[in-house]
Amino acid sequence: MKHFPIFLSLLFFWTSSPLAAQPLIFTCERAEKNYTEVYELKISPASHNQKAKVFVDSRDLDLSDEMGRQSIKNVVITTSAILISMEAHFPPERFDGVQYGAGSVKTAIAINRSSGQLRKAETIQGGILSATLGEGSKIYQEQCVALHKP
């Protein structure tokens, strides 16, 4: 009986590990005013040697170049929800003769796995995005459908 807790933890690891390693793929629809966009959202859970990855239409959301850097900070996957947090930072830039300062966007995404409802909260600070979209927090809602239910 003294090995029972070890057995339970090994059983949990063996039964949850293959499921956790499988990417979750959704087709999502975003609608705003007269604009509708359909995109594929793929979430690859963390493994022993790689952090969790998030892709939109096959584009890795962890990226860095001269235009800025964006990184996935955390991905939590439960049976009922998926939570994603990410940050983007942009250097100062000049566009159409106007100089904009550095900016950042912090994003928190929650997907209800049973309903497919995606809620996204973005906080914009500074930069060209602040000037064009407005500074502060905005909440969006989208609808997603899992490509296949695990």
Which pLDDT score, from 0 to 100, does residue 149 have? Answer: 57
Q: What is the pLDDT of residues 87-122, one digit of tens each?
A: 999 999 999 999 999 999 999 999 999 999 999 999
Domain spans in the chain, listed from the N-terminal domain onward: 4-146
123 against 48, higher pLDDT: 123
More confident site: 10 or 26: 26
Is the pLDDT at 82 greater than 90? The verdict is yes
Please provide the average confidence, as pLDDT, over all residues in the chain. Answer: 86
SS3 readout for the chain: CCCHHHHHHHHHHHHHHHHHHCCEEEEEEEEECCEEEEEEEEEECCCCCCCCEEEECCEECCEEECCEEEEEEEEEECCCEEEEEEEEEECCEEECCEEECCEEEEEEEEEECCCCEEEEEEEEEEHHHHHHHCCEEEEEEEEEEECCCC
Question: Above 60 in pLDDT, residue 14?
Answer: no
Tell me the per-residue pLDDT of 30-80, one tens digit each, with 9 for 90 and over: 998 899 999 999 999 988 888 999 999 999 999 999 889 999 999 999 999
